[in-house]
Amino acid sequence: MSLAGLGWVAKSLTAAAELGLADHLDGSPMTAEELAKQTGTHPETLEALLRILSTIGVFGRDDAGVYRNTALSDQLRDGHPQSMRHYVMLSGGLYADTFSAVTHTLRTGESAFRHLHGTRIYEYLEQHPAEADLYDKAMADLARPVAAALADAYDFAAVRSVLDIGGNSGELLKGLLTAHPHLTGTCLDRPDVCARAAAELATSPRKYLAERLTYQPGDFLEAVPADADLYTVKNVLHNWNREHSVVILGRIREAMERAGAGRPVDERPRLLVIEPLVETDVDWIRVLFQMVVCEDGTRGRTDEVQRAQITEAGLEVLDTLRLSTGHTVHICAAAH
Protein backbone atom coordinates (compact mmCIF):
# COMPACT_ATOMS: atom_id res chain seq x y z
CA MET A 1 0.00 0.00 0.00
CA SER A 2 2.82 2.40 0.83
CA LEU A 3 4.52 1.81 -2.52
CA ALA A 4 1.24 2.16 -4.42
CA GLY A 5 0.63 5.47 -2.69
CA LEU A 6 3.95 7.04 -3.73
CA GLY A 7 2.18 8.68 -6.67
CA TRP A 8 -0.04 10.53 -4.19
CA VAL A 9 3.04 11.75 -2.35
CA ALA A 10 4.59 12.98 -5.61
CA LYS A 11 1.40 14.84 -6.49
CA SER A 12 1.33 16.35 -2.98
CA LEU A 13 4.89 17.58 -3.47
CA THR A 14 3.91 19.02 -6.85
CA ALA A 15 0.97 20.86 -5.27
CA ALA A 16 3.28 22.33 -2.62
CA ALA A 17 5.56 23.61 -5.39
CA GLU A 18 2.66 25.03 -7.41
CA LEU A 19 1.25 26.86 -4.37
CA GLY A 20 4.66 28.26 -3.42
CA LEU A 21 4.32 27.00 0.16
CA ALA A 22 8.07 27.11 0.78
CA ASP A 23 8.25 30.75 -0.30
CA HIS A 24 5.46 31.64 2.12
CA LEU A 25 7.21 29.79 4.97
CA ASP A 26 10.61 31.36 4.25
CA GLY A 27 11.47 33.05 7.55
CA SER A 28 7.83 32.91 8.67
CA PRO A 29 6.77 29.60 10.30
CA MET A 30 2.96 29.23 10.30
CA THR A 31 0.15 26.90 11.24
CA ALA A 32 -1.79 25.26 8.44
CA GLU A 33 -4.65 27.68 9.05
CA GLU A 34 -2.36 30.71 8.75
CA LEU A 35 -0.70 29.30 5.64
CA ALA A 36 -4.11 28.56 4.12
CA LYS A 37 -5.05 32.22 4.45
CA GLN A 38 -1.82 33.20 2.69
CA THR A 39 -2.34 30.76 -0.18
CA GLY A 40 -6.11 30.76 -0.61
CA THR A 41 -6.45 27.07 0.25
CA HIS A 42 -8.73 24.95 2.45
CA PRO A 43 -7.16 24.71 5.96
CA GLU A 44 -8.01 21.08 6.76
CA THR A 45 -6.92 19.83 3.34
CA LEU A 46 -3.70 21.84 3.53
CA GLU A 47 -3.04 20.37 6.99
CA ALA A 48 -3.30 16.86 5.50
CA LEU A 49 -0.85 17.71 2.72
CA LEU A 50 1.63 19.30 5.13
CA ARG A 51 1.40 16.29 7.45
CA ILE A 52 2.17 13.93 4.55
CA LEU A 53 5.17 15.94 3.41
CA SER A 54 6.52 16.55 6.92
CA THR A 55 6.76 12.78 7.48
CA ILE A 56 9.34 12.53 4.67
CA GLY A 57 11.34 15.60 5.69
CA VAL A 58 9.70 18.13 3.39
CA PHE A 59 8.66 20.83 5.91
CA GLY A 60 9.08 20.54 9.66
CA ARG A 61 6.26 20.51 12.23
CA ASP A 62 6.50 21.20 15.97
CA ASP A 63 4.18 20.09 18.77
CA ALA A 64 2.13 23.26 18.44
CA GLY A 65 1.33 22.43 14.80
CA VAL A 66 3.56 25.17 13.38
CA TYR A 67 5.22 24.36 10.06
CA ARG A 68 8.59 25.61 8.88
CA ASN A 69 10.97 24.94 6.01
CA THR A 70 13.60 22.23 6.08
CA ALA A 71 16.66 21.80 3.86
CA LEU A 72 14.42 19.90 1.43
CA SER A 73 11.55 22.36 1.28
CA ASP A 74 14.05 25.22 0.96
CA GLN A 75 14.77 23.87 -2.53
CA LEU A 76 11.11 24.46 -3.41
CA ARG A 77 11.70 28.20 -3.04
CA ASP A 78 12.08 30.26 -6.20
CA GLY A 79 14.98 32.20 -4.71
CA HIS A 80 17.03 29.22 -3.56
CA PRO A 81 20.35 29.00 -5.47
CA GLN A 82 19.68 25.30 -6.13
CA SER A 83 15.90 25.57 -6.50
CA MET A 84 14.11 22.49 -7.84
CA ARG A 85 10.63 23.99 -7.70
CA HIS A 86 9.95 24.02 -11.43
CA TYR A 87 11.43 20.58 -12.01
CA VAL A 88 9.14 19.19 -9.29
CA MET A 89 6.17 20.79 -11.05
CA LEU A 90 7.21 19.33 -14.42
CA SER A 91 7.96 15.90 -12.98
CA GLY A 92 4.70 15.69 -11.04
CA GLY A 93 2.71 17.26 -13.87
CA LEU A 94 3.39 16.58 -17.55
CA TYR A 95 5.86 13.77 -16.90
CA ALA A 96 3.69 11.98 -14.33
CA ASP A 97 0.62 12.37 -16.53
CA THR A 98 2.51 10.73 -19.38
CA PHE A 99 3.26 7.75 -17.16
CA SER A 100 -0.47 7.04 -17.10
CA ALA A 101 0.20 5.40 -20.49
CA VAL A 102 3.28 3.42 -19.42
CA THR A 103 1.47 0.19 -20.33
CA HIS A 104 1.46 1.30 -23.98
CA THR A 105 5.26 1.56 -23.89
CA LEU A 106 5.51 -1.81 -22.16
CA ARG A 107 3.37 -3.48 -24.82
CA THR A 108 4.86 -1.80 -27.87
CA GLY A 109 8.23 -0.28 -26.91
CA GLU A 110 6.92 3.01 -28.32
CA SER A 111 6.84 6.41 -26.66
CA ALA A 112 3.82 6.89 -24.42
CA PHE A 113 4.13 10.64 -24.98
CA ARG A 114 3.65 10.27 -28.73
CA HIS A 115 0.79 7.83 -28.08
CA LEU A 116 -1.00 10.41 -25.89
CA HIS A 117 -0.22 13.58 -27.80
CA GLY A 118 0.50 12.46 -31.36
CA THR A 119 3.91 14.12 -31.47
CA ARG A 120 7.29 14.35 -29.75
CA ILE A 121 7.61 16.43 -26.61
CA TYR A 122 9.47 19.30 -28.32
CA GLU A 123 6.79 19.82 -30.97
CA TYR A 124 4.16 19.57 -28.22
CA LEU A 125 5.88 22.33 -26.22
CA GLU A 126 5.91 24.62 -29.25
CA GLN A 127 2.10 24.44 -29.23
CA HIS A 128 1.69 24.86 -25.45
CA PRO A 129 3.47 28.05 -24.30
CA ALA A 130 2.66 27.75 -20.58
CA GLU A 131 4.04 24.22 -20.38
CA ALA A 132 7.03 25.24 -22.50
CA ASP A 133 7.82 28.04 -20.04
CA LEU A 134 7.66 25.58 -17.14
CA TYR A 135 9.86 23.13 -19.06
CA ASP A 136 12.47 25.85 -19.65
CA LYS A 137 12.57 26.70 -15.95
CA ALA A 138 12.71 23.03 -14.96
CA MET A 139 15.68 22.47 -17.27
CA ALA A 140 17.38 25.48 -15.67
CA ASP A 141 16.86 23.84 -12.26
CA LEU A 142 18.65 20.73 -13.51
CA ALA A 143 21.46 22.65 -15.25
CA ARG A 144 22.37 24.96 -12.37
CA PRO A 145 24.31 22.45 -10.23
CA VAL A 146 25.94 20.90 -13.31
CA ALA A 147 27.23 24.32 -14.38
CA ALA A 148 28.79 24.89 -10.96
CA ALA A 149 30.43 21.46 -10.95
CA LEU A 150 31.74 21.75 -14.52
CA ALA A 151 33.10 25.26 -13.93
CA ASP A 152 35.34 23.80 -11.21
CA ALA A 153 36.22 20.49 -12.85
CA TYR A 154 37.24 21.53 -16.38
CA ASP A 155 40.19 23.76 -17.31
CA PHE A 156 38.79 26.73 -19.25
CA ALA A 157 42.04 28.70 -19.37
CA ALA A 158 42.62 28.16 -23.11
CA VAL A 159 38.92 28.54 -24.01
CA ARG A 160 37.43 31.80 -25.17
CA SER A 161 34.08 30.80 -26.66
CA VAL A 162 31.62 28.04 -25.72
CA LEU A 163 28.67 26.82 -27.80
CA ASP A 164 26.06 24.79 -25.91
CA ILE A 165 23.96 22.57 -28.19
CA GLY A 166 20.37 22.21 -27.04
CA GLY A 167 21.15 24.49 -24.11
CA ASN A 168 17.55 25.60 -23.54
CA SER A 169 17.53 28.86 -21.54
CA GLY A 170 21.34 28.91 -21.32
CA GLU A 171 21.63 28.06 -17.62
CA LEU A 172 24.75 25.98 -18.15
CA LEU A 173 26.41 28.86 -19.98
CA LYS A 174 25.26 31.38 -17.39
CA GLY A 175 27.05 29.38 -14.72
CA LEU A 176 30.22 28.98 -16.78
CA LEU A 177 30.33 32.64 -17.83
CA THR A 178 29.79 33.79 -14.25
CA ALA A 179 32.60 31.56 -12.95
CA HIS A 180 34.96 32.42 -15.85
CA PRO A 181 34.56 36.07 -16.91
CA HIS A 182 36.85 35.68 -19.94
CA LEU A 183 34.34 33.36 -21.66
CA THR A 184 31.64 34.18 -24.19
CA GLY A 185 28.80 31.77 -24.88
CA THR A 186 26.25 30.87 -27.55
CA CYS A 187 23.19 28.76 -26.83
CA LEU A 188 21.77 26.80 -29.78
CA ASP A 189 18.14 25.73 -29.50
CA ARG A 190 14.73 25.94 -31.15
CA PRO A 191 13.56 29.44 -32.18
CA ASP A 192 10.76 29.57 -29.58
CA VAL A 193 13.16 28.57 -26.81
CA CYS A 194 15.72 31.18 -27.83
CA ALA A 195 13.08 33.93 -27.99
CA ARG A 196 11.84 33.15 -24.47
CA ALA A 197 15.35 32.84 -23.08
CA ALA A 198 16.59 36.12 -24.57
CA ALA A 199 13.55 38.00 -23.25
CA GLU A 200 13.98 36.45 -19.79
CA LEU A 201 17.69 37.29 -19.64
CA ALA A 202 17.05 40.92 -20.61
CA THR A 203 14.94 41.49 -17.47
CA SER A 204 16.69 39.15 -15.03
CA PRO A 205 19.23 40.02 -12.30
CA ARG A 206 21.88 38.50 -14.59
CA LYS A 207 21.05 40.72 -17.56
CA TYR A 208 24.68 41.87 -17.53
CA LEU A 209 25.52 38.50 -19.10
CA ALA A 210 23.71 39.54 -22.28
CA GLU A 211 26.96 41.19 -23.38
CA ARG A 212 28.63 37.76 -23.45
CA LEU A 213 25.73 35.34 -23.96
CA THR A 214 23.78 35.06 -27.21
CA TYR A 215 21.03 32.75 -28.42
CA GLN A 216 21.24 31.09 -31.83
CA PRO A 217 18.00 29.61 -33.20
CA GLY A 218 18.61 26.44 -35.17
CA ASP A 219 18.10 22.72 -35.62
CA PHE A 220 21.05 20.67 -34.39
CA LEU A 221 19.89 17.74 -36.50
CA GLU A 222 20.64 19.86 -39.56
CA ALA A 223 23.67 22.01 -38.71
CA VAL A 224 25.73 23.43 -35.83
CA PRO A 225 27.58 26.79 -36.01
CA ALA A 226 31.33 26.52 -36.50
CA ASP A 227 32.61 29.40 -34.39
CA ALA A 228 33.52 28.09 -30.93
CA ASP A 229 36.59 26.86 -29.07
CA LEU A 230 34.54 24.46 -26.96
CA TYR A 231 31.25 22.68 -27.66
CA THR A 232 29.01 21.27 -24.94
CA VAL A 233 25.99 18.98 -25.17
CA LYS A 234 24.41 18.26 -21.77
CA ASN A 235 21.43 15.99 -21.02
CA VAL A 236 20.44 16.12 -24.69
CA LEU A 237 21.46 12.81 -26.22
CA HIS A 238 19.47 10.74 -23.74
CA ASN A 239 16.30 12.34 -25.12
CA TRP A 240 17.00 10.90 -28.59
CA ASN A 241 17.34 7.41 -29.99
CA ARG A 242 20.71 6.08 -31.11
CA GLU A 243 20.29 7.10 -34.76
CA HIS A 244 19.45 10.69 -33.93
CA SER A 245 22.15 10.85 -31.24
CA VAL A 246 24.79 9.89 -33.79
CA VAL A 247 23.42 12.51 -36.23
CA ILE A 248 23.62 15.21 -33.54
CA LEU A 249 27.17 14.26 -32.63
CA GLY A 250 28.06 14.15 -36.33
CA ARG A 251 26.77 17.70 -36.87
CA ILE A 252 28.87 18.88 -33.94
CA ARG A 253 31.92 17.10 -35.34
CA GLU A 254 31.41 18.81 -38.70
CA ALA A 255 31.28 22.20 -36.97
CA MET A 256 34.40 21.38 -34.96
CA GLU A 257 36.28 20.45 -38.13
CA ARG A 258 35.31 23.71 -39.80
CA ALA A 259 36.19 25.76 -36.72
CA GLY A 260 39.51 23.96 -36.30
CA ALA A 261 40.68 24.21 -39.90
CA GLY A 262 44.20 25.66 -39.98
CA ARG A 263 44.71 25.40 -36.22
CA PRO A 264 47.40 23.24 -34.61
CA VAL A 265 45.99 19.91 -33.41
CA ASP A 266 46.21 20.83 -29.72
CA GLU A 267 44.29 24.09 -30.34
CA ARG A 268 41.37 22.59 -32.25
CA PRO A 269 37.91 22.66 -30.67
CA ARG A 270 36.85 20.11 -28.10
CA LEU A 271 33.43 18.69 -27.29
CA LEU A 272 32.13 17.88 -23.81
CA VAL A 273 29.42 15.22 -23.87
CA ILE A 274 27.78 15.53 -20.46
CA GLU A 275 25.31 12.82 -19.48
CA PRO A 276 24.13 10.77 -16.49
CA LEU A 277 24.90 7.20 -17.55
CA VAL A 278 23.36 3.89 -16.53
CA GLU A 279 25.67 2.64 -13.80
CA THR A 280 23.45 1.11 -11.08
CA ASP A 281 20.05 -0.57 -10.85
CA VAL A 282 18.54 2.68 -9.57
CA ASP A 283 19.42 4.32 -12.90
CA TRP A 284 16.82 2.13 -14.61
CA ILE A 285 14.17 4.51 -13.25
CA ARG A 286 15.60 7.09 -15.63
CA VAL A 287 15.80 4.53 -18.44
CA LEU A 288 12.09 3.78 -18.17
CA PHE A 289 11.35 7.51 -18.07
CA GLN A 290 13.22 7.99 -21.34
CA MET A 291 11.33 5.12 -22.97
CA VAL A 292 7.98 6.56 -21.87
CA VAL A 293 8.47 10.32 -22.37
CA CYS A 294 11.13 10.68 -25.07
CA GLU A 295 11.02 9.68 -28.74
CA ASP A 296 10.55 6.13 -29.99
CA GLY A 297 13.65 3.99 -29.53
CA THR A 298 15.24 6.09 -26.79
CA ARG A 299 17.20 3.97 -24.31
CA GLY A 300 19.54 4.51 -21.39
CA ARG A 301 23.25 4.50 -22.17
CA THR A 302 26.11 2.82 -20.41
CA ASP A 303 29.62 4.22 -20.77
CA GLU A 304 30.32 1.58 -23.42
CA VAL A 305 27.25 2.52 -25.47
CA GLN A 306 27.99 6.24 -25.15
CA ARG A 307 31.54 5.77 -26.37
CA ALA A 308 30.34 3.68 -29.30
CA GLN A 309 27.97 6.47 -30.39
CA ILE A 310 30.75 9.02 -30.10
CA THR A 311 33.06 6.88 -32.24
CA GLU A 312 30.34 6.22 -34.82
CA ALA A 313 29.92 9.98 -35.23
CA GLY A 314 33.61 10.42 -36.14
CA LEU A 315 34.80 11.64 -32.75
CA GLU A 316 37.34 10.23 -30.33
CA VAL A 317 37.31 10.35 -26.54
CA LEU A 318 40.44 12.01 -25.19
CA ASP A 319 39.57 11.90 -21.51
CA THR A 320 36.68 11.69 -19.05
CA LEU A 321 35.61 13.65 -16.00
CA ARG A 322 33.24 12.65 -13.23
CA LEU A 323 31.12 15.51 -11.85
CA SER A 324 29.79 15.70 -8.31
CA THR A 325 26.27 15.73 -9.82
CA GLY A 326 26.74 12.14 -11.07
CA HIS A 327 27.32 13.19 -14.68
CA THR A 328 30.07 11.69 -16.81
CA VAL A 329 31.88 14.08 -19.14
CA HIS A 330 33.49 12.63 -22.24
CA ILE A 331 36.05 15.09 -23.59
CA CYS A 332 36.11 14.59 -27.35
CA ALA A 333 37.96 15.72 -30.48
CA ALA A 334 37.28 15.10 -34.13
CA ALA A 335 38.92 11.80 -35.08
CA HIS A 336 41.87 11.88 -37.47
Residue 59 CA, distance from chain mean position: 25
pLDDT digits (tens, 9 = 90+) for 96-147: 999 999 999 999 999 999 999 999 999 999 999 999 999 999 999 999 999 9
**Whether residue 238 lies in the annotated active site:** yes
User: DSSP letters along 116-167, please?
Assistant: HHSS-HHHHHHH-HHHHHHHHHHHHHHHHHHHHHHHHHS--TT--EEEEET-
Q: Read off the pTM.
A: 0.92
CA 302 vs. chain centroid, Å, equals 19
The model's pLDDT over 39-72, given as tens digits with 9 standing for 90+, comes to 999 999 999 999 999 999 999 999 999 999 999 9
Half-sphere CA count of 68, side-chain side, radius 13 A: 10
Q: Which of 24, 86, 182, 238 is catalytic?
A: 238
Average pLDDT of adjacent 10-residue blocks, the chain of 336 residues:
92 98 96 97 98 96 97 95 96 96 96 96 95 96 97 97 97 98 98 96 94 97 96 96 97 96 91 96 93 92 96 98 97 92
